[in-house]
Structure 1
Amino acid sequence: MRAFLLLFFFGYCYLYSFQTIAQNVMLQFQDISFEDGISDSRVGNVIQDKEGFVWLTSRLGIDKYNGQTMKSYQFLQEKQAEINTLIQSDKGNILVATTRGLYFLNTEKDKFDLWQSQDSVLNNHLDSNIHTINQLKDGKFICSSATGFVFTLSFEERDSTTTHQFLKFPNGSTENYGTALFQDKNEVVWMGTSRGDLWVYKGDGFKPTSFTKSNNKVYINDIVVDEIGEIWIGTNGNGLFQYNPDLHRIKHYMSSNSNTSQSINNNMILCLYADTKNNIWIGTDGGGLNLYSKTNNKFSYFQSDSYSKYSISDNAILDISPGQDNVIWTGTVHGGISYFKNNMTLYNIPPSKLGIDQKDKQESRILQANDGDLWLTAGRNGLRRYNPKTGKLSLFTDNPEDESDLSGSNILSLYEDDQGRIWIGTLYGGLNIFNPKTDKFLKAEDWHKPRAIFTITQDKDDYIWVGSNTGIVVYNADLKIIEKYDINANLGLTSNVITSFYKDVKDEMWIGTAAGLNVFQQGRFKSYLPIQGDSNSISGSRILSIAEDDNLSVLIGTNGYGLNRYIRSSDTFKRIGKKEGLEATFIRGILQDDEKNIWCSTNLGLSKISPDGNVMNFNTYDGITPFKNSKASYGFNGYIYTANSFGLTYFKANDLTNNHSLNPNVFFTNISLINKKGIEVIPFKNYLKNELEINQLILPADNVMLTLGFATSNYWDPKKNTYTYKLDGFHKQWQTIGNQQILTFSNLKPGDYRLQIKALNNEGIESTHIASLNITALPSFWEKPWVIRSLFLLGIAMVFGLFKWRMSFINFQKRKLELMVKRKTELVETQTKKIYKNNLDLLNAEKANQELSQRQLENELNFKTDELTNHTLREIHKNKLLSKIKNDIAKEAKQNNNNNNLKAIVNLIDDSLNLDKDWDDFYNLFQQVHPSFISNLKKNWPNISDRELKLCALIRLNFSSQHIATLFGISESSIKVARHRLRKKLEIEENQSFQDFFERLMLEVST
């Protein structure tokens, strides 16, 4: 029994801790200010219409905002009026209650017109101070005026007929009039008055309620009815009232100096809004935005913070209204518009409660100890220990004069060992160990040596591993060093700068360094480094974080190179990046929640990777700020913690969802045309004809270029909006255009088109809302069908007539040409015959001349040949004669041995036979008949002798061997020997004659 009570007690403490910590709601605010084109920083009313436009009122008039541009309607100056209430009817009409009448938006003229009636009595009230207007469930409008009258109206735009009914309000007067009207879901109308009364309409008139027991005498600024029918009443200085009309129970909330979260923080309540989640939103004058959670019976406050750009812009809230995509809009006195997502999954402990200086933008590291206490660093201001059950805070700072306290105020790492001791790694302060049991700091061996301790963990033997800028030091339970590892130990460690530790399921220690990933196995370090061009290697060398997923794969976060998953079976890495949906590249922390989801602390925020691989990214729009030097922490109670100068933020891991729009509405914002006159920008409505809710755009005939602007109802994270469109009649497929919000079409041909635009949310899911526009491009005069048909027929007629005329003309020209051709042909024939005869005569004369010349040449050649032959024969005859005389004289001389004179005569005859003069004459004649014969022989056979040249010449003239022997004065047998030698020198084949050889030689030379 005692054990059960103890278990119940600890369980209660745990639940109490959970309930205590889970009630500090955190909201992220965004603003619309002067930078966005707002006319005035004082925004009295703000609504988002059905299309998605935001309308706001100021002292200058009304502004309309489409997410890109602001348009102002300034119509109050003439009557010097001020706006009291701005609403949109269920049919989309924009109605404005002012101090000088009721106005409505004339959509045809795109301007606000005064609402007037043919009833003069009603007009008197319509021209007065209409304090408030609201629409009833039956479509009628209920108004209250400062004259004390309450009346209903039926209104149709473009119709001046207005039906009305004055409602009975017994105490109505200029001193007591309706200030706030509200109809609940049971169609009961409630009204607050200027004297602080609450009235209810019962069918035959307004009746007072039991709220009179509250004795409230203060002006009622606003009333709302919540989901269970309770009425909330905001007063002008008397705080907030909660009224139950069935039980006649009244509860009064007033601000107090204790600020115990049990009441409002300001008594001036300017506006109220009750959402569907049982929350009451309260706008105050100076206390910011108050939130009452009926579920937790607790108030939360949201006030302007100069240190945070995500706080509400001003502490005076004039209006609160719901918008699309779960957005709530607020109008402020000095800060324009502030809006936020009504998604309360984040909770926050402000920095003031944690002793964190907001001026120091250092981020914090968080550790939830086993006793439930939260340990978090405070930038450069030491360490904090926060008890979420009691709210107790303990501060640990470095006092230089006290050696027993925290050493070093800049904390880099935190770890709790199995004995409950908190290990604290610092920058420049060494290693600290805090024992919660004794509330004292312990000193480990060589605790002061490391300059920067980045990571601490415990191995399978319960030894503590401390990683610093000088390597790894391993401590035992007695805080003694049992091992040191650095690159000098030659065990394979890649760097002395140790950035992260992780003990995996196999009890192996993974070590991240500034220069690679290491795993400690069997006394050595196995290292992994990026390999260029190898996608199976780790992506980066500087490791920031290590963890393990449910599939026992090791996850490694890098510095700028994304996330890696180590696959044990293949000893390879798989990279996880933008292709898989992970937008960030700096992975500073990795943790796994109870649902097996992986959470990555990144330079962009938090990324959640579900077991099926789906990635969701959370950023500042979701309330998650980027991690620059820290990481998120996971507590045993299922919360994820982050901390920085904004305090401690935490949420249930399975509660966080994207704040981005899931189904944004797309709407057109503007249109411009370029024609021959130039650029013409005209309000979009002026080009539309609304018939059966179909938008029809008529383009004039001189249109050259059409430009359409569009936007979505998602004002929260507009950079995440992407669009796709299709122009039916031009495109067959949808066209993706990214974040572009302008479409341009040039020179659209006359015809009918249908433009459709869809938005895609941050997860790539298409919106079900489609902005559609029917476009009719009008033809010019020359492009009109009847003109085209007429011109076509006229063209055919002209072509036919031209064809007939052309054929007639061609026939005439043909006949004329035939006659000319005939005449020309006869003339040409005559001239041709004449020319032919002349040419024939010339040819005959030239032929005769050529024949004469040929005969002359032949005669000359014959003469030369005969002369050469005769000369040669004469020489032969002479030589024969001389030879005979020589022989006779020689015979005589032989008989008369002593006759010297005869011998002398014989010698003279021999000399005569050998004289060359006659041969010179022979050569001259031979050269005339055969010009190149001698030179060709010398060219081809340079070593040929003059005697051999003479022999060749005589052979060429067909002289016999006998005649040649006579000319040379030798025997005929010697000539035969000479001819044989000559044949060998000239390389004449045996079956080839000298004449054939010489003919071939002359032929080769000529070619």
Structure 2
Amino acid sequence: MRIHLLLYFFICFIFNSLVLTAQNVSIQFQSITFEDGISDSRINHVMQDKEGFLWFATRLGIDRYNGQTMKTYQFLQEKQAEINTMLQSQKGHIIVATTKGLYFLNIENDRFELLKSQNAELDTHLDTNIHSIIQLKDGRFLCSSATGTIFSLSLEESKTEYHIFNFDKGSNNNYASALFQDVNGVIWMGTSQGALWFYNESEFVPSGFSKFNNTTYINEITADADGNLWIATNGNGLFNFNADLEQAKHYKKTNNNHSETINNNMVLSLYADKNDNIWIGTDGGGLNLYKKAKSKFHHFQSDGYNEFSISDNAILDISPGEDNVIWTGTVHGGVSYFKNNISLYNIPPSKLGMDHKDKQDSRILEAKNGEFWLTAGRNGLRRFNPKTGKTTIFKDDPSDKNDLSGNNILSLYEDSLGRIWIGTLYGGLNILNPKTNQFLKAENWSGLKAIFAIEKDGKGNIWVGSNSGITVYATQLNILHTYSVNSNIGLSSNVITCLYKDVKDDMWAGTATGLNVFKQDKFTSYLPIKEDKTSLSGSRILSIAEDDDLSILVGTYGYGLNRYVRSSDNFIRIGKDNGLEATFIRGIFLDDEKNIWCSTNLGLSKISPEGIVQNFDGHDGIEPFNNNKAEFGRDGYIYMAGTFGITYFKAKELKNNYSKNPNVFFTSISLINENGIEQVPFENHLKTNRLTLPQDNVVFNIGFATSNYWDPEKIIFAYKLEGLHEQWQTVGSQQTLYFSNLDPGDYTLKVKAINNAGNESSHIASLKITAMPSFWEKIWVKILMFLFFIATVIGFLKWRISAIKRQKLELELRVNQKTKLVEEQNKKIYKNNLDLLNAEKANQELKRKQLENELNFKTDELTNRTLREIHKNNLLDKIKNDISKVAKRNEDSERLKSIVNLIDDTLNLDKDWDDFYNLFQQVQPAFISNLKKMCPNITDRDVKLCALIRLNFSSQHIATLFGISESSIKVARHRLRKKLKIEENQSFQEFFESLRPKTAT
């Protein structure tokens, strides 16, 4: 058992070693060409300055690029000079070495000027062919000229110091062609005759490199992390020299072992990065990379079929930029640049028999024996053995019925017996035995079309999904079951797009109209429901997988990713709100760290177990997936196939290439006034960091950019204008701000960048803005206007006061006249009114007397009537007594008749009560009605009692009128008081007065 285990690990080790041996680094290049405004396709040198601007040295001059616009400084035509190199000093000065002297950028004048000193001897050296220039650690500049002179130069504002170095040139044609200072401060010099010198105390002396007999021109020198020197020659290849041991390794182009050496002996440029990789620019061999850790060379050449290849095979310069970008200047292709983030490896299509012209994507399958099977667009099938590098091609020959049937392959699957199942578009189902390279025929193999999915179920049977439903095969290749819409078992569509077996051995089928799961011999369908966000987001299913929590991941055609939660039996949608930018999810798998990888129409998306989404696209070396998908290998690699061959990488090593901390800088200023648009020379404001707006300015705009030239479209910006608002305003990817009608005063414009990971740049561009006031807004003008206003107001007040005084006098005269006239008229009116009042008074007095007489009359009449009532009652009393006597004495009938007559008299007296009421109503109008309103249940007897009390009749008279005793009257009065709710301290008369209606005064 141990022997088998050790053998297994040994085989895996050997296999991985072979894979790593065969691999080639994959790099995505971008270019800056004439379309971007570059003045010349030949770029001698590329430099990114401290602000983030790019500088390109060409034959026509120097181009400065800010990511939006290109500005060309042409200053060499008259002298017919060319630029050899350029640098930015420690203090930020741009210095250019040319064939006609040394130039520097005058920021105030925004032009390059020839460097001149006050020393005639120094000027003779400055005004020559300055072949190379470097800045030493002490701040001095070391220059070499084509005449053989080497001199150091100290550029200070107050004085210019220089020093001439001597070395034994040997001949007049020998000069310093390359200068370099290593980390230990040692200055190295390569010569035009191939020697390597170093500075020792006071002079340059030869190094031990001379014993290697190089006589070829040295173009450049650099050093790796171990301190070894790398020496580029102009035809004799590349040297790696250990100065301490005086040992060298020589790399030259050979016909064999391309991965062990350079591919061109003309080495024009070198750069050693921080990862100890050596980048080598050649003349015709493109860009070479030497990875010291693996002692392997990789070569990158221009490919007309690959838009992401380097633009030219002649590399004049290699320079580092910000954020791990490497810039290359080419002879014919302008500028090519790439992210130095090596994580992708590639097997080129030439080794796979792939056709550049067919842009059809490829499916890839890693077999158990380590071989790769991949489709070749419409050109059949490829079998690649990474151990031997051998590729076997399978194509459909119409004359051979035993070979591959159908060249357009849609799906691949390896069964437990190692057989490769191949689903085609029109050729049916193919099954290949890799051991014999023979194709096997399954039952009804030719009747299946558009086979997009093949999967094994829990019993080992193979499910084949086509446009006619699902066909289940046994290992003997006979059909066990067929499932379709016509089977009436719940399948939503016959067009099967993907199949998947979960850990519970349930089979999931994605179709053109929804998701299906097979349980207990029937399908359950899940379809998108409009306005139900817990349902599927889209109907056409492209991919299915299972997450670590056993939820089902479902990729759709155009509607993003879905997660089916078993416990709640619903779907959670994952899309742009969650950071997943793509909408077409063509493949899903989990890596060893439980990250979810999605093959999308934009590239790859990685979702961590915490739900953090990272999107990888062309800027990261990941091509979009149109009809294919990535596969996860057993060795931890992720594999992709296409017209670019096979690209693969370790899942845990792929990192986003987004810019982490780009500089933000201003690029342009335009003023808009009555005369139109005025472009302001920005360099002046760049130096002073201040902008002054003229008084007639109406609108101005400011452009800005970042040092991120790799994926600038993914940068968003925010700004604030201090003095106007203090809050940051997000403007998205917009790179121009417009302001209008700023009030006079001082402002500070600040702009910052935010990368596509949501991280803000620590560098904030700042520009102070002073808005000048107009003529009328100037302080002295405002003071004069204020004084003039005050004087005008005072003059007006004085004039107004004088006018008011005159009007007052005139008014007083008129008032006096009017007053007299009014007094006379008032006297007349008063006299007339007095006479009228007296007459009215007399008339009122007369009316009063008439009313008083009438009231007295009616009162007397009422009293008389009341007395008559009393008389009647007396009569009744007498009748009562007489009847009583007759009853006792039994007198005759004559006496009884007289009694009857008396009673008739009393009846006549009862009619007088009506007359009493009428008279009483005239004397006391509304008394009875108000009394009944206040006490609706009052009786007529009570009303009579109230009327008599109102007329101040005594209790004795009232008793007589009612024919009762005086004591009974007292009881009746007491009961009446309670019925009327009269308070104890209130008399009847006071209560009756309250019943009288209020009269207006």
- How would you bin the TM-score normalised by the shorter chain? 0.7 to 0.9
The question of 1:763 aligning with 2:764 is answered no
The CA distance in 2 between the partners of 1:823 and 1:314, in whole Å, is 113
The CA distance in 1 between the partners of 2:799 and 2:94, in whole Å, is 71
The CA distance in 2 between the partners of 1:804 and 1:527, in whole Å, is 97
The CA distance in 2 between the partners of 1:366 and 1:124, in whole Å, is 67
Q: Is the contact between residue 95 and residue 102 of structure 1 (CA under 8 Å) also seen in structure 2?
A: yes
Question: Equivalent residue for 1:563?
Answer: 561
Which of the numbers 645, 654, 657 marks the counterpart of 2:655? 657
Question: Equivalent residue for 1:627?
Answer: 625
The CA distance in 1 between the partners of 2:690 and 2:450, in whole Å, is 69
1:291-440 paired onto structure 2 within 5 Å: 291-440=289-438
Q: Is the contact between residue 149 and residue 172 of structure 1 (CA under 8 Å) also seen in structure 2?
A: no
Q: Could you give the per-residue CA deviations for residues 691-719 of structure 1, whole angstroms, max 9, x where no partner exists?
A: xxxx2222233322221110000000111
User: Which secondary structure does the structure 2 equivalent of 1:448 belong to?
Assistant: helix
2:748 aligned partner, one-letter code: R
The CA distance in 2 between the partners of 1:724 and 1:501, in whole Å, is 47
CA gap of 1:199–1:535, structure 2 versus 1, over 3 A, is same
2:691 aligned partner, one-letter code: L
Question: Equivalent residue for 1:729?
Answer: 723
1:309 aligned partner, one-letter code: E
Question: Equivalent residue for 1:161?
Answer: 159
Q: Could you give the per-residue CA deviations for residues 435-467 of structure 1, whole angstroms, max 9, x where no partner exists?
A: 223332211111110121100000000000000
The question of 1:450 aligning with 2:477 is answered no
1:194-233 paired onto structure 2 within 5 Å: 194-233=192-231
Question: Equivalent residue for 2:35?
Answer: 35
Question: Equivalent residue for 1:967?
Answer: none
How far did residue 4 of structure 1 move? 5.0
Q: With structure 2 as the length reference, what TM-score do the two structures score? A: 0.81
CA gap of 1:825–1:389, structure 2 versus 1, over 3 A, is farther
Q: Which moved more, 1:784-793 or 1:596-605?
A: 784-793
User: Which secondary structure does the structure 1 equivalent of 2:84 belong to?
Assistant: strand
Question: Equivalent residue for 1:6?
Answer: 7
The CA distance in 1 between the partners of 2:674 and 2:709, in whole Å, is 37
Which of the numbers 508, 531, 539 marks the counterpart of 2:506? 508
The CA distance in 2 between the partners of 1:350 and 1:668, in whole Å, is 42
Question: Equivalent residue for 1:141?
Answer: 141
The CA distance in 2 between the partners of 1:549 and 1:826, in whole Å, is 112
CA gap of 1:819–1:275, structure 2 versus 1, over 3 A, is same
The CA distance in 2 between the partners of 1:78 and 1:296, in whole Å, is 51
How far did residue 833 of structure 1 move? 12
1:774-813 paired onto structure 2 within 5 Å: 774-813=768-807
Q: Could you give the per-residue CA deviations for residues 165-200 of structure 1, whole angstroms, max 9, x where no partner exists?
A: 111222276411001111111111111111011111
Question: Equivalent residue for 2:259?
Answer: 261
Question: Equivalent residue for 1:118?
Answer: 118
The CA distance in 2 between the partners of 1:803 and 1:581, in whole Å, is 73
Question: Equivalent residue for 1:816?
Answer: 810
The CA distance in 2 between the partners of 1:816 and 1:564, in whole Å, is 97
The CA distance in 2 between the partners of 1:422 and 1:786, in whole Å, is 92
The CA distance in 1 between the partners of 2:616 and 2:797, in whole Å, is 77
The CA distance in 2 between the partners of 1:355 and 1:820, in whole Å, is 122
Q: Is the contact between residue 538 and residue 559 of structure 2 (CA under 8 Å) also seen in structure 1?
A: yes
Question: Equivalent residue for 2:109?
Answer: 109
How far did residue 77 of structure 1 move? 0.9
The CA distance in 2 between the partners of 1:203 and 1:439, in whole Å, is 73
Question: Equivalent residue for 1:954?
Answer: none
Q: Could you give the per-residue CA deviations for residues 478-519 of structure 1, whole angstroms, max 9, x where no partner exists?
A: 011000000000111010000001111211111000011100
Percent identity between matched residues is: 66
The CA distance in 1 between the partners of 2:327 and 2:12, in whole Å, is 41
The CA distance in 2 between the partners of 1:63 and 1:546, in whole Å, is 52
CA gap of 1:822–1:492, structure 2 versus 1, over 3 A, is farther
1:361 aligned partner, one-letter code: K
1:121 aligned partner, one-letter code: E
Question: Equivalent residue for 2:186?
Answer: 188
CA gap of 1:688–1:748, structure 2 versus 1, over 3 A, is farther
Question: Equivalent residue for 1:536?
Answer: 534
The CA distance in 1 between the partners of 2:497 and 2:823, in whole Å, is 111
User: Which secondary structure does the structure 2 equivalent of 1:40 belong to?
Assistant: coil
1:59 aligned partner, one-letter code: R
The CA distance in 2 between the partners of 1:794 and 1:617, in whole Å, is 69
1:163 aligned partner, one-letter code: E
User: Which secondary structure does the structure 2 equivalent of 1:328 belong to?
Assistant: strand
How far did residue 771 of structure 1 move? 0.6
CA gap of 1:832–1:328, structure 2 versus 1, over 3 A, is same
Q: Is the contact between residue 688 and residue 697 of structure 1 (CA under 8 Å) also seen in structure 2?
A: no
The question of 1:235 aligning with 2:233 is answered yes
The CA distance in 2 between the partners of 1:688 and 1:412, in whole Å, is 58
2:130 aligned partner, one-letter code: I
1:270-309 paired onto structure 2 within 5 Å: 270-309=268-307
CA gap of 1:688–1:412, structure 2 versus 1, over 3 A, is closer
How far did residue 674 of structure 1 move? 2.3
Q: Could you give the per-residue CA deviations for residues 825-881 of structure 1, whole angstroms, max 9, x where no partner exists?
A: 7789999999999xxxxxxxxxxxxxxxxxxxxxxxxxxxxxxxxxxxxxxxxxxxx
Q: Is the contact between residue 469 and residue 493 of structure 2 (CA under 8 Å) also seen in structure 1?
A: yes
How far did residue 818 of structure 1 move? 4.0
Which of the numbers 733, 738, 741 marks the counterpart of 1:744? 738
The CA distance in 1 between the partners of 2:121 and 2:797, in whole Å, is 82
How far did residue 777 of structure 1 move? 2.0
How far did residue 251 of structure 1 move? 1.1
The CA distance in 2 between the partners of 1:301 and 1:270, in whole Å, is 15
1:815-854 paired onto structure 2 within 5 Å: 815-820=809-814, 823=817
The CA distance in 1 between the partners of 2:719 and 2:446, in whole Å, is 65
Q: Is the contact between residue 118 and residue 160 of structure 1 (CA under 8 Å) also seen in structure 2?
A: no
The CA distance in 2 between the partners of 1:735 and 1:163, in whole Å, is 50
Question: Equivalent residue for 2:959?
Answer: none
Q: Is the contact between residue 177 and residue 219 of structure 2 (CA under 8 Å) also seen in structure 1?
A: yes
Q: Is the contact between residue 588 and residue 597 of structure 2 (CA under 8 Å) also seen in structure 1?
A: yes
Q: Is the contact between residue 20 and residue 389 of structure 1 (CA under 8 Å) also seen in structure 2?
A: no
Question: Equivalent residue for 2:476?
Answer: 478
1:547-558 paired onto structure 2 within 5 Å: 547-558=545-556
1:16 aligned partner, one-letter code: S
The question of 1:773 aligning with 2:771 is answered no
The question of 1:713 aligning with 2:707 is answered yes
Q: Structure 2: which 5+ residue stretches go unaligned?
A: 832-1001
How far did residue 672 of structure 1 move? 1.5
The question of 1:46 aligning with 2:46 is answered yes
Q: With structure 1 as the length reference, what TM-score do the two structures score? A: 0.80
The CA distance in 1 between the partners of 2:5 and 2:456, in whole Å, is 33
Question: Equivalent residue for 2:85?
Answer: 85
User: Which secondary structure does the structure 2 equivalent of 1:242 belong to?
Assistant: strand
1:887-898 paired onto structure 2 within 5 Å: none
How far did residue 160 of structure 1 move? 7.2
Q: Could you give the per-residue CA deviations for residues 7-45 of structure 1, whole angstroms, max 9, x where no partner exists?
A: 342232243245335x41000011111111110111111
Q: Is the contact between residue 364 and residue 640 of structure 2 (CA under 8 Å) also seen in structure 1?
A: yes
Q: Is the contact between residue 18 and residue 637 of structure 1 (CA under 8 Å) also seen in structure 2?
A: no
2:185 aligned partner, one-letter code: E
Q: Is the contact between residue 108 and residue 687 of structure 2 (CA under 8 Å) also seen in structure 1?
A: no
The CA distance in 2 between the partners of 1:615 and 1:763, in whole Å, is 10
How far did residue 722 of structure 1 move? 0.4
Q: Is the contact between residue 147 and residue 173 of structure 1 (CA under 8 Å) also seen in structure 2?
A: no
2:769 aligned partner, one-letter code: I
User: Which secondary structure does the structure 2 equivalent of 1:788 belong to?
Assistant: helix
Q: Is the contact between residue 107 and residue 687 of structure 2 (CA under 8 Å) also seen in structure 1?
A: no
User: Which secondary structure does the structure 1 equivalent of 2:91 belong to?
Assistant: coil
CA gap of 1:602–1:4, structure 2 versus 1, over 3 A, is closer
The CA distance in 2 between the partners of 1:331 and 1:282, in whole Å, is 12
Question: Equivalent residue for 2:60?
Answer: 60
1:11 aligned partner, one-letter code: C
User: Which secondary structure does the structure 2 equivalent of 1:318 belong to?
Assistant: strand
Question: Equivalent residue for 2:690?
Answer: 696
